[in-house]
């Protein structure tokens, strides 16, 4: 069946804006972001604080060694002679014998007269290239103190000059402290903290998803209930649990359903009462006209009364279609008997214009009266918009979910339909161009869709 629309379709629903990510994922994501930010800040703060401690400790080590050397040089005595040292070389021999270097400390003694240098180092302190080609060694000889990167950490140093009257005894003593070993230990600790933090994040995410799922379960129930609400089922109510915001939302939703049900029941009763109140006077008017001579005016009036009665019947059918008890499917209905009934109905509307194509056999579960009603509306629509022969087809078919069933169709030779017009033509009070022919009530296809 095809028609040409005479009015534009209803406006499309405005697109929904906002995030498409589920609420529980957004909640957990924000929670993980805050936790990750806190853990990152903690790790960065801990590393910065400990790195500062390492630098201060290296400075303290160097300063302490310098003070000890200076104090020993000014007050120390040679254990062999019990007299003050007369040789800086002897002074350094005695000093180094009495020193216990830590694993990260080192001492370089450079003799300016001979150009030779020696180094005493702790367990983890590296041995430098004590030649004029080593930039670090040269820098130490030129600067009284300083710090520079070395390995994974840095080296801090201070230089003490021992300058007796004898130029051959001129020594430069460089005290050094290396931080690489402590920095390596710190980095290992930081990576351990990173691993633990990652595990905490994963655990937090899993627990957060479980907790969010539990907390938002009433919202999912509310969404499911809202999606299932229709005029056929307004009796469903959600249980209210607790006194939180979700419980309040559930109460409001149940209240909304109460108001919807009240409004729908009032609308249904109004339509049914109007049908009853108007059908009676129409029947009386038709009976009176039937007793009069069948003039053209009388026939037109009776046709108009019949059309008005059909509109009332269609409105009543649409109202009833929104109730659960609208259809009463019966099992094991013979398809052949159904086909014969439907063909008799359409033949009565337009004798001689119908072809019949029966492709299905067996039995089906359906409401015969509702099938007759839907087929009748399709047939009237086809007769209104097509002048040629029409075909009533009953064939096996499937719905949008892949379930098998019967497909009952009416094919006419009307002017055709655009694809965009198909859906809205099944709305209530929608009319197509009738090419000068009387228009229907605009409810027939809506009833077909409801059935």
User: Residue 423 maps to which CATH number?
Assistant: 3.30.565.10
d(CA 399, CA 406): 9
Q: Which helix (H) or strand (E) holds 306?
A: helix 296-321
pLDDT of residue 325: 65
Least confident of 96-100, 205-209, 278-282, 319-323: 319-323
User: Three-state DSSP class for 322?
Assistant: coil
d(CA 379, CA 287): 28
d(CA 320, CA 323): 5
d(CA 30, CA 24): 10
Q: What is the mean pLDDT of residues 22-43?
A: 92
- What's the pLDDT tens digit per position in 380-433? 888 887 777 888 898 888 876 777 788 888 888 777 777 776 767 767 666 655
CATH number at residue 125: 3.30.450
Do the strands 354-358 and 390-398 form a parallel or antiparallel pair, or are they unpaired?
A: parallel
Q: How far is CA 348 from CA 32, 165, 236, 342, in A?
A: 72, 140, 44, 10
d(CA 209, CA 143): 60
User: Three-state DSSP class for 327?
Assistant: coil
pLDDT of residue 166: 81
For residue 344, give every residue at least 6 positions away whose Cβ sits within 8 Å of its Cβ, in sequence order, or none.
none
**What six digits make up the tokens of 288?**
């009176």
d(CA 59, CA 258): 79
pLDDT of residue 233: 65
pLDDT band, residue 20 (cuts 50/70/90) = confident
pLDDT band, residue 56 (cuts 50/70/90) = very high
pLDDT of residue 30: 92
Domain presence at residue 126: yes
Domain presence at residue 304: no
Residue 236 burial class via C-beta count within 10 angstroms: exposed 0-12, middle 13-18, buried 19 and up? exposed
**What six digits make up the tokens of 7?**
């009015």
Residues belonging to the chain: 451
Domain limit, last residue, from 188, 219, 250: 188
> What number of other Cβ atoms are within 10 A of residue 157's Cβ?
25
pLDDT band, residue 188 (cuts 50/70/90) = very high
The Cα diameter of the chain in Å comes to: 160
Least confident of 25-39, 260-274, 317-331: 317-331
Domain presence at residue 106: yes
Q: What's the whole-model pTM score?
A: 0.56
Q: Which domain holds residue 369?
A: 327-450
Domain presence at residue 406: yes
pLDDT of residue 18: 59
pLDDT of residue 404: 79
Domain presence at residue 258: no
d(CA 54, CA 46): 12
| DSSP code for 238 | P
d(CA 85, CA 94): 10
Domain limit, last residue, from 188, 204, 222: 188
pLDDT, mean over the chain: 82
Beta bridge partners of 352: none
Q: Which helix (H) or strand (E) holds 159?
A: strand 153-162
Angle between helices 335-349 and 368-385 (to 10 degrees): 40
pLDDT of residue 4: 38
pLDDT of residue 54: 92
Number of helical H runs and strand E runs in the chain? 10, 14
Domain count, the chain: 2
Q: Which helix (H) or strand (E) holds 330?
A: strand 330-334
pLDDT > 90: percent of the chain = 16
Which stretches within 76-179 are classed as H helix? Answer: 88-98, 135-142
pLDDT of residue 36: 95
Domain presence at residue 118: yes
Domain limit, last residue, from 135, 159, 188: 188
d(CA 163, CA 170): 5
């Amino acid at each position: 069946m095809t028609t040409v629309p005479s009015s534009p379709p209803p406006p499309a629903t405005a697109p929904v804006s906002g995030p498409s990510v589920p609420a529980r994922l957004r909640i957990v994501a924000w929670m993980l972001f805050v936790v990750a930010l806190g853990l990152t800040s903690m790790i960065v703060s801990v590393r910065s604080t400990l790195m500062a401690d390492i630098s201060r400790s290296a400075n303290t080590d160097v300063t302490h060694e310098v003070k000890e050397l200076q104090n020993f040089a000014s007050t120390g005595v040679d254990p062999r002679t019990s007299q003050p040292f007369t040789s800086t070389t002897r002074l350094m021999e005695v000093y180094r014998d009495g020193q216990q270097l830590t694993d990260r400390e080192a001492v370089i003694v450079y003799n300016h007269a001979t150009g030779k240098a020696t180094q005493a180092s702790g367990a983890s302190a590296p041995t430098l290239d004590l030649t004029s080609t080593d930039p670090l060694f040269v820098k130490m000889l030129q600067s009284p103190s300083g710090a520079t990167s070395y390995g994974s950490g840095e080296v801090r140093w201070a230089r003490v000059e021992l300058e007796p009257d004898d130029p051959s005894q001129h020594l430069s003593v460089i005290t050094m402290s290396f931080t690489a070993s402590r920095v390596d230990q710190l980095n290992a600790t930081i990576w351990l903290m990173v691993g633990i933090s990652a595990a905490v994040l994963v655990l937090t995410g899993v627990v957060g998803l479980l907790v969010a799922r539990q907390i938002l379960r009433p919202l999912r129930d509310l969404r499911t209930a809202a999606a299932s609400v229709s005029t056929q089922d307004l009796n469903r109510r959600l249980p209210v649990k607790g006194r939180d915001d979700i419980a309040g939302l559930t109460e409001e939703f149940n209240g909304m359903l109460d108001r919807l049900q009240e409004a729908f029941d009032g609308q249904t009763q109004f339509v049914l009462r109007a049908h009853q109140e108007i059908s009676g006077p129409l029947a009386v008017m038709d009976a009176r006209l039937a007793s009069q001579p069948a003039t053209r005016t009388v026939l037109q009036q009776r046709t108009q009364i019949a059309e008005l009665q059909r509109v009332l019947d269609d409105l009543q059918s649409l109202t009833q279609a929104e109730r659960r008890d609208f259809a009463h499917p019966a099992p094991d209905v013979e398809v052949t008997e159904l086909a014969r009934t439907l063909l008799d109905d359409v033949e009565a509307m337009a004798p001689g214009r119908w072809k019949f194509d029966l492709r299905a056999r067996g039995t089906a579960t359906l409401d015969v009266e509702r099938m007759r009603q839907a087929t009748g509306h399709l047939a009237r629509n086809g007769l209104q918009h097509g002048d040629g022969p029409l075909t009533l087809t009953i064939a096996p078919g499937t719905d949008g979910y892949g379930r098998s069933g019967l497909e009952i169709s009416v094919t006419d030779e009307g002017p055709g339909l655009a694809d965009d017009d198909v859906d809205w033509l099944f709305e209530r009070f929608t009319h197509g161009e009738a090419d000068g022919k009387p228009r229907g009530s605009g409810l027939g296809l809506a009833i077909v869709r409801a059935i």
